[in-house]
Amino acid sequence: MKVGIIGANGYGGAELLRLLQKHPFVQVEEIISHSTQGKHITEQYPHLNSFYNQTIGKLEIREIASKVDILFFATPSGISNEILPQFFEQGKTCIDLSGDFRLIQDKTYEKWYKKKHSSPSYLKQAVYGLTEVYREKIKDAQLIANPGCYPTAALLGITPVLKAKWIEPSTVVIDGKSGVSGAGRNPILGSSYAEINENMKAYKLGSHQHIPEIEQIINEISGASTTISFTTHLIPMTRGIMCTIYANLTEKVTTQEVIDLYKSTYQNDPFIRIRSANKWPATKEVTGSNFCDIGVLIDERTNRLIIVSVIDNLVKGAAGQAVQNMNVMNGWDETTSLHLTPLFP
């Protein structure tokens, strides 16, 4: 199959190039970027030397559509809702890594993204690409809204106990911590080395666009209709997201029972690894890989469950999960080109 990547200059795009390079069933035919068109891809990304030998193209929809079967949109929010439908209408498989098709309601999108959605009628066509939870729907989808990085870590961390109704959804607090690569490759003061290094900051408290995304899925899974607390912190590292999740228990369970529940829930999911009791995952243990590692604890003193969930934000939180979804959509082994050993240390 022939693949095109729209928005290839960002880190998500570069990561798609890394992952697709070894994929036996696809070939990257088109590498598109608005800001760097005309440059050779290795000028932008010297590490890709000897893997890709192409010039970055411009967005000519008709021409691209004539050449590729599958499109990845690794664009900032607000782009794909304009252009994706044109590819969709020509029957192309569309996998959108941006937030444009994740929220069911365009009003919610407008409120949190501060933009009008230009293609609201396509929202119901989109399947939310949290593979482990929505695999069956993904198989038949033509348009995937690939989950946000934080929501991936948060939702994979909380899904088993939500489904089992062992926690009270309204008490959920999710403290999110992220490396800097999630902010994209565009140089801004807030991502400058001297501002990030030896520093830690909270940001977008109460207003992060991943809040409605997480709530939407939590409510869908639990059947509840509630609000949760979700906060975001910038950590001086490049890759990695950790969500520490707190929730009040609805029944008396032990740590081992929770571990067993997680292992059983994810028994057929090759990218979920559950830690044993009193072991906690570290972000570096998943770097460069598509894993989501999870540790849990029942804190008997407070009758709360504490969950720690980690991913590589550029892989399971973006490009890796996108490729995973492509594999599922095409009936290929879900781990194709994704069975990568994390790079440690």
Interacting residues with its own copies between 37 and 66 (CB under 8 A): 45-51
Q: Whose Cβ is closer to its own copies: residue 90's or residue 229's?
A: 229
Q: 186, 228, 178, 227: which is closest to 203 by C-alpha?
A: 178
Cα dist. 141→136, 250, 314 in Å?
9, 35, 23
Question: Considering the complex, what minimum distance in angstroms separates the CB of residue 196 from its own copies?
Answer: 4
Q: Which residue has the tokens 């829930």?
A: 265
Selected from 236, 250, 257, 263, the binder of its own copies by CB under 8 A is 236
Please give the distance of CA 65 from its chain centroid, rounded to a whole number. Answer: 25
Selected from 23, 92, 210, 239, the binder of its own copies by CB under 8 A is 239
253 lies in the binding site for its own copies (CB under 8 A): no
Selected from 217, 285, 294, 319, the binder of its own copies by CB under 8 A is 285
- Which segment (58-66, 118-126, 160-168, 223-231) binds its own copies by CB under 8 A? 223-231
Restricting to residues 87-106, which ones interact with its own copies according to CB under 8 A? Answer: none
Amino acid at 60: E
Question: Considering the complex, what minimum distance in angstroms separates the CB of residue 52 from its own copies?
Answer: 9
Question: Considering the complex, what minimum distance in angstroms separates the CB of residue 12 from its own copies?
Answer: 11
DSSP 147: P
* Rounded Cα gap, residues 146 and 98, in angstroms: 7
Instruction: Tell me the sheet residues that pair with 70.
Output: 3, 93
Structure token digits, residue 36: 């760097």
- Which segment (136-144, 150-158, 160-168, 202-210) binds its own copies by CB under 8 A? 202-210
Selected from 286, 294, 322, 338, the binder of its own copies by CB under 8 A is 286
Question: Considering the complex, what minimum distance in angstroms separates the CB of residue 205 from its own copies?
Answer: 5
As a whole number of Å, the CA-based R_g of the chain is 20
Question: Considering the complex, what minimum distance in angstroms separates the CB of residue 200 from its own copies?
Answer: 5
Selected from 90, 223, 279, 333, the binder of its own copies by CB under 8 A is 279
Q: Is the peptide bond before 345 cis (omega within 30 degrees of 0)?
A: yes
- φ and ψ of 129, to 5 deg: -85, 40
How many residues bind its own copies (CB under 8 A)? The answer is 82
Contact 124, 104 (CB under 8 A): yes
Question: Considering the complex, what minimum distance in angstroms separates the CB of residue 148 from its own copies?
Answer: 18
345 lies in the binding site for its own copies (CB under 8 A): yes
Selected from 80, 181, 216, 222, the binder of its own copies by CB under 8 A is 181
* Rounded Cα gap, residues 238 and 228, in angstroms: 27
244 lies in the binding site for its own copies (CB under 8 A): yes
Answer yes or no: 94 catalytic: no
For strands 241-248 and 304-311, give the pairing. antiparallel
Contact 235, 177 (CB under 8 A): yes
Q: Whose Cβ is closer to its own copies: residue 85's or residue 295's?
A: 295
Active site residues: 149
